[in-house]
Structure 1
Amino acid sequence: MLVGYSSSSEEEEEEDRRAGTGPKNSGSRECEAEEEDGNDGCPVRKRARTEEQVTKTRLPVPGCLLAMFPDEVDTQNDDSSLHGGRIRSFKHERGNWATYVYVPHPPEEEFVELLEELLSAARARGVVLTLQEEFHLSLSQTVVLRHHWIQPFTRSLRADLAHCKRFVCSARKLKVYCNAEKTRTFLGMEVCSGHVQLLDLVRVVDRTMTEFHLDTFYKEPSFHVSLAWCVGDVTAQMKECVQELQRVVDEREDGPFLLRLDGAELRCRTGNKTFRFPLES
């Protein structure tokens, strides 16, 4: 009799559920817990509670892992106040690398002493200059290189420079330069010997630039080493005192200063990477 009663109760509950008047099963209660009425009266499913917990407990990526992929991290800062007022020639974008080819010049003691005298003389004439952070002679324009081009670009450049000979050039005459955007003015020392060898190297570098559809060097370049700079276009003001600055170069105790560049290697700077290309002896 007890069995029959149980069966009858189950049948009644089943009929109630079909009619919509009986209690909902546990599965229905779970659904009810996951739904709420929307503005239109239709049920809207809530985000699963487990998903919320995963979001709240998600840990930051360890710094050691980020360091494994430095090329994907934007370390550039376009705030000019952090760079002495300098303004980028082109906007920085992730994956774009400022790239140029040059002859390095490590400064010697006599050269540093001359620079201090030049800055002091310019300051006396109302021109405040900032020394370059490094000294070099450019053999290309600054171009934008995509990150995935770096390896093939430098490989092509190395192959083209493989049989180029090392050289010596010198500079003595001061000259004023201003960039194309008129955002910076430079005091440079122009090359007076070795011009032919530099032109030969530019033609080699230009081949790689052309291969990657990048701008080649100037048609009539004024090869020089930039010594110092200031913000804005102050070309006229600097040209007024350049003759006085030239006297500082020519009338030193040990005789006129001559800047000598030993072209033992070329370098390519792209972003924060530097590639070296030794030249044949």
Structure 2
Amino acid sequence: MPNDSRMLVGYSSSSSEDSEAASDVEKSCSRKCQEEDDGNDDCPVRKKPKTEEQVTKARLPLPDCLLAMFPDDEVPQTEDSSLHSGRIRSFKHERGNWATYVYLPYHPEEEFRELLDELLSAARAHGVVLTPQDEFHLSLSQTVVLRHHWIQPFTQSLRSDLAHCKRFVCSAGKLRVYCNAERTRTFLGMEVCTGHAQLLDLVQAVDRTMTEFHLDTFYKDPSFHVSLAWCVGDLTVQIEECIQVLQCVVDDHEEGPFLLRLDGMELRCRTGNKTFHFPLKP
């Protein structure tokens, strides 16, 4: 044991001297290596470990366009009906869900705009305030929910199922009142009077795609119509009370009854903020 103790003390003393000598050598080697090319294997450059602060500074920031693709999941989705003229969603908004529907577009002419102003004025005179539609169309499906990764196969299937459908013309002229299933909105619409068979043919094609994706199909006995204006809540009774007065405005418009004409050149599918076009056969 004493011998071991002396050995340890002696080793410690010599190690201290060797350490000082080694330190001088390392310093010399370090200076030399810094002056020589990095590829010199005889005296590699010793790298200092990077601190956390240095690593953070070295990272490049992500571009804004990438950050926008992955918004913070903790940001809550709010439903403020005041931002949508009092309208309420039929289903809760969820990230990745896209409200989707298929329709026949209607491009209004000046005569239609004049008639609509007259209808809104007549309804207002009977205590019913209606808001005109932002755009006009004839629905050929219910509003369903698509996941984002379904959009491409869904629209491809729809295009295939509509491939045999031909162009046609339909018209509408009779006013009717409609209310959504949730009883949160009431609509004044103009029901189709010609072209019903062709519209049913289109619905059958659309329903095939809906069934393929396990989505709700259209109504069994649909009342095809173009919605003209709407109001919040269930005002079916109030509008029905003055529907005859409004119909007279349509029937007595200028030189005769007004007929809303739809040229069935193409169908459209709107899903979220995307619109897909499906031209019909000539």
Q: Verify same fold: TM over 0.5.
A: yes
Residue 242 of structure 2 aligns to a residue in which SS? helix
TM-score by length of 1: 0.78
CA deviation map 1:214-272 (0-9, x unaligned):
00000000000000000000100010011111111011122110000000000000000
Letter in 1 for 2:197: V
**Aligned position for 1:10:** 12
Q: Distance in 2 between matches of 1:52 and 1:125?
A: 72
TM-score by length of 2: 0.78
CA deviation map 1:66-104 (0-9, x unaligned):
56x499999986211100000000001011100000000
**Aligned position for 1:64:** 65
Contact map agreement 1:71 1:95 (CA 8 A) in 2: no
Question: How many residues of Structure 1 are paired with residues of Structure 2 in the alignment?
Answer: 241
1:163 Cα deviation after fit: 1.7
Residue 254 of structure 1 aligns to a residue in which SS? coil
1:149 Cα deviation after fit: 0.5
* Overall identity of the aligned pairs, in %: 77
**Aligned position for 2:170:** 169
CA deviation map 1:94-144 (0-9, x unaligned):
111000000000111101111111111111111111111110000000000
Contact map agreement 1:138 1:223 (CA 8 A) in 2: yes
**Aligned position for 2:112:** 111
Letter in 1 for 2:94: E
Structure 1 unmatched runs, 5+: 15-48
Residue 227 of structure 1 aligns to a residue in which SS? strand
Structure with higher Rg: it is 2
Q: Distance in 2 between matches of 1:193 and 1:233?
A: 29
**4+ residue runs over 6 A deviation:** 52-60, 70-76
Question: What do you get for the CA RMSD once the two structures are aligned?
Answer: 3.0
Instruction: Tell me: CA distance 1:123–1:156, structure 2 relative to 1, closer, same or farther (3 Å).
Output: same
Contact map agreement 1:182 1:232 (CA 8 A) in 2: yes
Q: Distance in 2 between matches of 1:59 and 1:118?
A: 61
Contact map agreement 1:72 1:94 (CA 8 A) in 2: no
Letter in 1 for 2:150: W
1:59 Cα deviation after fit: 8.0
Q: Distance in 2 between matches of 1:7 and 1:238?
A: 107
**Aligned position for 1:218:** 219
Q: Distance in 1 between matches of 2:166 and 2:142?
A: 22
